[in-house]
Structures are given as C-alpha cells and as structure tokens.
C-alpha cells in the first residue's frame, strides 16, 4: 500500500518580479528544490512565470517568447520526480490564454486553459486573455513538442492512484466550476492556480469555496494564490494557500501570516475513493459527456514506508476537541435524541415510558433524554417509570446514584431486587449460583429486561433502550436482554461521547443552581464502566470493569469510526491509531484491534434485530439505515490482515 493512500502535496509562492521571466524561473526552480522529498505535487500561483499584474505587457512578444523558453528550462531543471504546476501566458491561433502547465520527469504533460475570465470590478483579464471556449483544437506546439492544450485535462498517477484536475482562479467562483466536471470524470485531486487580491471578508469566503468544493466533489483541493510581491498599484494580493480534503481544512497560510515558506499537506486518496463508492449519487453527471484528455504516468513509489502526515489524527474522532464546540454539539445531540423520542411517543399515542436505571452513563443519558422528550410533549415526569434492579454485582455507589437520579428528576421510582427471581431461575435451569459464567451474567440481564417489558405492559408504556453505539459494535449486550427495547435513544451515540453529553448536561444543571443533580451526574461520569453482573470486591467496589475485559473504548471507538465512516482496511486503521495514541501503546492497540474485528463480525446477529433508534451522528449500525451485513459473514479476510500486523 503506497503510504496508506496519502498523496503528499504542497503549495508555494515566489518573490515574483513583474515581467522578469528569468528571475521568476530561477525562483521556481529554487523553491522546487527546497521541497520535501516525500512531496508528490507542488503547485505555484496563476501566471507566476510572468507575474499576474503585467497589464499591457502581456501584449509584448518579448515577454511571451521568454515564457515559452522558460518552460523548456523548467523541464530541464526541476526535480525529476516532483510534479510541478506553474501558471503561464501562452499564445495559440492568434489568441492569448491564461494557462497552467504540468511538468513532470523533464517534460510538459499537458496544459490546462483557464475557462472563466473575470472582467468586472478590479479585474480586466478579457483585455488580454481569451477563454477556453474559443479553442479550435486541443494541442499546442511548444519548443518542438506537441502538447495537450485543453480545459479538460486529467493527469493519472497510476502509482499513487491520484487523478489530478486543474482550476485556474475564477474557475472556482462560477456556479459549475470546471473542477466539478473534472471530479465527475475521475479527478480526486484538484489544484487551483490563483491570483486573488485581498479585500475585507474575502479570506473566509475563499476558504468556504475551497472547503465546499472539496466536500461536494469528494476530493482533495490545493489552492495557491499569488502573494504580496505582485504589483500593489491598485491591489494587494493575498498569498492565500489552502490544502483541503473532503471538506476538511488540512493546512492553510493566509494574508495575515505573510508566510513565504512551502505549505504542505496530504490528500487521502483512499478516503476519496471510498466516499465516492458509498455516496455514489454525487458522481452522477447531469450534463452531457465531455471529451477529456487523459495523461497516464507512473511516479516512483516512496522508499520510506512510515507514515508522515501534516494533518492531526484525532484520537477521539466522535468528540469535538474544541470545548465550546463540544458543548454545543452535545446539546444538539441531546435535542435530536429528545425530538426523536418525543415524536415516537406522540405518533403511537403513548405518554408512559419505562426505563431501567443502573447508575451508569448509558441509562443516565437515556433518562435525561426521556425527561427532555416529556418536556417537549408536555407530559408529566411521573409517567416515566424509572426502575433500578439491584443484582449480584450492584454496588452501593451505583444504587445510591440510581435512586438519587430518579428522585431528582421527579419520576415514578421503582426499586426491584432481582436476587430471588434469578436464584429461582438458576434452580429451574440447574445453574450453580457459584459458577460465575456467561449464564450467570446473562440471566440477570434477561431478568431485568423481563421486568421492564412486563411493567410496560402494566402501565401501557414502552421500554426505553439504554445501549450505545459502541456496545452494539462489539455486541457487548445480552441478546434479548439489555439488547432489546421498544426505542433505543442511544443507538448512534458512541461510548466516548456519552460521557461528554452527560457532563454537558451536568454543567447546565450547575449553571441553573441544581447542584444536587449536577453532583450526582458528575459522580456517575466518574464511575468505571461496568455491567455489574459479577459480585463486587470485598470492600464493595466494582469488580467487573468492561474495559479490562474487552479493551479501551477509546480505541474501539477510534476503530469503529474509521471502519464505518471511512471503510479503511485494518492496516491503515492500525497505522492511524499508532499515530493518534502513540507507538508506546503498540501492543495494546494491536490486541484491542484483534478483539474489535472478532467481536464486530461475530455479533452482527444482534444488530440485525436491533430496535428503532434515531441516528444523530455520521455513522450508525441500524440494519434499516447505515449498515447491512449478513450475520454469518466471514471475518477471515480482515483477521488475516490484522494478524500480519506488528
């Protein structure tokens, strides 16, 4: 796998000398030679060989002749294995065109012609340049070579799988940019050679255009604009450079930075491909077929197989890292959950609800959502039958938090011990109560579910499920036990996010002066994750800690995100996990990854009959929505790859 599908790109500006082609040529060569050796593609600004602000000097044959000769010098002097794209004015058939020349391994692969020529406000490009629609043929003769000369150029790097298309400045600002057609014809890396002047408010708008285009086209986008070295007779230029990938900003240098260093980033070609396969309607062209010129090359594979990334790999991809953003996101998620439940209750004409409360995070969040849904519908909280069902593993801490929570929310509270019922069941099935096996554990979970279901019948309500997305992924729930309900509000919330949602709600209660409720919620957040199905320790502490058995939910949620959202193979997920969590956790990451894939495949049968539950995030495991998979699918392909990792 070539660097796990990452294509390394760069954007550079030069200290342009207006109309001094030879100085600009040398500056481009020097900058290219400074470029990091891992870089596959280097992009320079629009008309960088001449300078964008030459004005009527563009009519001078001396300038245009020098630009053609400079291209020949660049072919000879640029690093051989680096693809370089430069902006240049070129003549053809009595017209002058604003172009981008693609240079690789000593030759010009092709020339992209600018399609949309601005001629408004401060722009007067039509005074000098023709647009691509005036082309009569799509080749040009330069320095003894016949070269593709078109607005429909695609460069295929068969080694890296990158397919490169080009916008030139204004091309991005129109309703249907050329890069949209490039993407529909296979481009997954778009470059934009620009000379965009700076005005108030233009930087964020320019950024939004690039991010939006990369998101809509499921591609990488490398934007490189001329810097302040252009003429300032009437304008000041931005030097704005952006590297984006699928709507995500990877790296950026703005006008305020005044930074002339090379901007680096990488495009995740594999993710682009996977997203296009998954969201395939985006690749359906509404326009007539366009004849593209396709150029195929083979770059040299990297000798360094280690992963080098500019982008940050977040260890908690489901959780926004910015505190203010996280608080806002958690509030939005709670509201979506509550609206989903409120509508379900309203549609089925039901104003009673039964929910089991364990003193853990998941059931706490479910109760919070129930209370908020009842508020939306104007229902009485007394119609929420909150039930705590202490068993053999229940500790004083979790039981106290359960009863406190129910009292503080003003629900109808029930405390039903399952000891006698489960012991009777053990006698019926001839299970030794001293044998703490899976039967011992699951009998308790199913007894609790039976109680909840029967109470729902008794009070004409529904059972609210508490299980989360992470538990569904790992099958860490008892089939027809806590696995089952009438509506599962946490079904698309991963474990790493549940805690933050509850903490966010606790902070809201603190701000409202509800300190008793907030204190209970904070203590629940600090309680170890446990099903509490095994007896506690001698000092009354939780003995059965989930993450000691199956591994860290931090890791499992990381694996789950990159499997469901990006469909990455095990080797890439493993490499990214090492990048995110650190090489020192190598053994733990690999061991947990094996557990993840084994459980993910073997527990699909639980997901294929999971209850309804609203999707609130980018991924979900509902068989009616995001994930359709047979319960008897083989895991061997994935486990074989995992077992070869080290």
Give catalytic status of residue 224 as yes or no: no
Cite the DSSP H helix spans in 410-437: 419-429
**Of the candidates 392, 406, 407, which has an alpha carbon nearest to the alpha carbon of residue 355?**
406
Name the pairing type of β-strands 220-225 and 241-245: antiparallel
Q: What's the rounded Cα separation, in Å, for the pair 249 and 212? A: 10
Distances (CA, A) of 32 to 20, 27, 303, 431: 19, 9, 20, 74
Q: Where are the beta strands (DSSP E) in 151-273?
A: 153-157, 162-168, 189-194, 220-225, 241-245, 248-253, 263-268
What's CA 627's distance to the chain center, in Å?
18
Residues 6+ apart with CB under 8 A from 575: 4, 307
The residues that bridge with 603 in the sheet, in sequence order, are none
Nearest to 174 by CA among 110, 245, 114: 114
Asked if 464 and 353 touch (Cβ cutoff 8 Å), the reply is: yes
104: left (phi over 0), alpha (psi -120 to 50) or beta: beta
**In Å, what is the CA distance from 581 to each residue of 306, 409, 484, 587?**
16, 39, 34, 12
Residue 46 annotated among the catalytic residues of the structure = yes
**Which of 285, 272, 283, 224 shows the shortest CA–CA distance to 246?**
272
Nearest to 70 by CA among 55, 57, 83, 89: 89
Pairing of strands 95-104, 83-92: antiparallel
3-state secondary structure of 113: strand
Question: Torsion angle, CA of 276/279/280/283, rounded to 10 degrees?
Answer: -60
Residue 332 Cα distances to 289, 507, 541, 564, 620, angstroms: 43, 15, 35, 22, 17
- The CA distance from 78 to 69, in Å, is 14
Within 10 angstroms of residue 522's Cβ, the number of other Cβ atoms is: 15
What are the CA-CA distances from residue 577 to residues 44, 550, 570, 582 (Å)? 34, 17, 10, 8
The total of other beta-carbon atoms located within 10 Å of residue 208's CB is 10
| Integer Cα distance of 630 and 230 in angstroms | 61
Structure tokens at 346: 């309203």
Catalytic annotation, pick one of 31, 92, 114, 572: 114
Residue indicated by tokens 């916008």: 167
Alpha helices in 35-79 (DSSP H): 61-77
> Is residue 575 classed as helix, strand or coil in its secondary structure?
helix
Q: Are strands 462-465 and 353-356 parallel, antiparallel or unpaired?
A: parallel
User: Is residue 114 annotated as part of the catalytic site, yes or no?
Assistant: yes
DSSP classification of residue 161? T
Residue of 35, 169, 224, 620 with catalytic role: 169
Q: Which helix (H) or strand (E) holds 571?
A: helix 570-581
Among residues 31, 35, 46, 272, the one annotated as catalytic is: 46
- Residues with a catalytic annotation lie at 46, 114, 169
């Amino acid at each position: 796998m070539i660097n796990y599908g990452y294509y390394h790109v760069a954007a550079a500006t030069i200290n342009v000398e207006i109309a001094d082609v030879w100085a600009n040529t040398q500056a481009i060569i020097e900058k290219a030679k400074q470029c990091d050796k891992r870089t596959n593609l280097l992009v320079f600004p629009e008309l960088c060989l001449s300078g964008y602000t030459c004005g009527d000097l563009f009519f001078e044959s001396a300038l245009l002749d020098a630009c053609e000769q400079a291209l020949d010098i660049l072919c000879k002097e640029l690093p051989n294995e680096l693809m370089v794209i430069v902006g240049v004015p070129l003549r053809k058939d009595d017209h002058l065109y604003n172009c981008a020349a693609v240079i690789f391994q000593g030759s010009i692969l092709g020339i992209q012609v600018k399609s949309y020529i601005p001629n408004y406000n401060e722009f007067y490009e039509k005074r000098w340049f023709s647009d691509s629609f005036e082309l009569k043929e799509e080749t040009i003769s330069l320095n003894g070579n016949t070269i593709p000369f078109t607005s429909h150029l695609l460069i295929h790097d068969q080694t890296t799988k990158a397919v490169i298309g080009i916008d030139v400045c204004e091309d991005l600002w129109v309703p249907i940019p050329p890069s949209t057609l490039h993407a529909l014809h296979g481009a997954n890396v778009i470059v934009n050679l620009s000379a965009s002047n700076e005005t108030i408010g233009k930087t964020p708008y320019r950024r939004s255009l690039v991010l939006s285009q990369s998101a809509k086209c499921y591609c990488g986008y490398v934007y490189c604009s001329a810097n302040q070295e252009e003429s300032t007779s009437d304008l000041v230029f931005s030097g704005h450079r952006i590297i984006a990938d699928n709507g995500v900003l990877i790296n950026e240098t703005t006008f305020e930075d005044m930074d002339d260093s090379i901007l680096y980033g990488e495009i995740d070609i594999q993710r682009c491909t996977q997203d296009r396969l998954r969201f395939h309607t985006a690749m359906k062209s509404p326009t007539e077929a366009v004849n593209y010129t396709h150029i195929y090359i083979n770059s040299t594979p990297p000798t360094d197989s280690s992963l080098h990334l500019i982008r940050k790999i977040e260890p908690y991809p489901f959780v926004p890292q910015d505190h203010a953003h996280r608080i806002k996101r958690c509030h939005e998620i709670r509201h979506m959950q509550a609206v989903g439940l409120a509508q379900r209750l309203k549609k089925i004409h039901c104003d009673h609800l039964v929910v089991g409360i364990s003193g853990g995070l998941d059931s706490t969040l479910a109760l919070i959502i129930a209370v908020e849904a009842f508020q939306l519908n104007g229902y009485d909280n007394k119609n929420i039958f909150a039930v705590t069902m202490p068993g053999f593993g229940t500790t004083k801490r979790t039981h106290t938090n359960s009863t406190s929570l129910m009292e503080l929310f003003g629900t109808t509270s029930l405390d039903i011990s399952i000891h006698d019922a489960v012991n009777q069941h053990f006698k019926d099935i001839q299970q030794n109560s001293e044998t703490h096996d899976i039967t011992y554990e699951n009998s308790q979970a199913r007894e609790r579910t039976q109680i909840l279901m029967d109470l729902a019948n008794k009070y004409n309500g529904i059972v609210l499920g508490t299980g989360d997305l992470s538990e569904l992924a790992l099958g860490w729930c008892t089939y027809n036990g806590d696995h089952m309900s009438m509506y599962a509000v946490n079904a698309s919330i991963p474990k790493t996010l549940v805690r933050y949602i509850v903490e966010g709600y606790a902070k809201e209660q603190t701000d409202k002066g509800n300190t008793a409720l907030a204190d209970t919620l904070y203590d629940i957040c600090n309680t170890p994750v446990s099903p509490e199905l095994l007896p506690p320790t001698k000092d009354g502490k939780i003995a059965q800690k989930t993450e000691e058995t199956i591994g860290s939910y931090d890791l499992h949620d990381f694996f789950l995100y990159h499997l469901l959202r990006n469909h990455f193979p095990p080797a890439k997920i493993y490499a990214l996990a090492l990048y995110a969590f650190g090489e020192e956790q190598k053994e733990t990451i690999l061991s947990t990854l094996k557990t993840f894939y084994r459980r993910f495949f073997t527990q699909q049968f639980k997901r294929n009959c999971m209850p309804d539950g609203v999707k609130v995030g980018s991924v979900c495991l509902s068989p009616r929505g995001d994930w359709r998979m047979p319960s008897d699918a083989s895991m061997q392909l994935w486990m074989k790859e995992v077992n070869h990792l080290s």
